[in-house]
Structure formats: structure tokens, C-alpha cells
Amino acid sequence: MTLKECKREEKMDREFRKKFKFEGSISVLTQMMVDPAATEKRGGAKNLPLRRGEILDVIQFTNQEQILCRNSQRRYGYVPRAVMLPL
């Protein structure tokens, strides 16, 4: 990883902490897959864009309806639990 990529990741992590008021270390709890039968959705203010069959890193189980996740492009956002499948 180059210095430029490392600084970019640090910046994205800082923005994530500020946007979601997240404290503590960012650690991956598990990985889950977006249901291949689910409809693809565009991201919103705090929602992550969904693609069918995409593997997401689970950062936090926030409540009964949503999970805080990170995708392969290191973007963070909420995802509905209804469209998530365990690996």
C-alpha cells in the first residue's frame, strides 16, 4: 500500500467516524452477502448502495432493521437486515 492510499484510507475512516458518530476501533465483525434476489438500490445520505450478491463487511449491528457495513470500495453506510444473508 502506498503512502497516498494509506492517507486516503485514514481520511475515509475519519469521515466515517464523524458522519456516523462512531467511537472505538473499526473492526469487522463478520461478512455477509446482499441477497441475489434483492432489488439494487442507490445509496442515500447514510445508506450504502446495494448490488446483488455483493459481499459486505459488517462493522456494527445497529438495530433490528439496519446493519452498519463497509463495501469493497471502503464506503460505509446502513444496509437493511432484510436483504442480508450470512455467508
**Residue 4 vs residues 11, 70, 85: alpha-carbon distances, Å:** 11, 20, 34
pLDDT at residue number 2: 83
Tens-digit pLDDT string for the chain (87 aa): 688 888 888 888 888 888 888 888 888 999 999 988 888 778 778 888 888 889 999 999 888 899 999 988 888 999 999 889 988
- At the top level of CATH, the class of 3-86 is mainly beta
- What pTM value is reported for the model? 0.83
Q: Based on the number of CB atoms within 10 Å of its own CB, is 70 exposed (0-12), middle (13-18) or buried (19 or more)?
A: buried
**pLDDT value of residue 1:** 66
Domain boundaries, the chain: 3-86
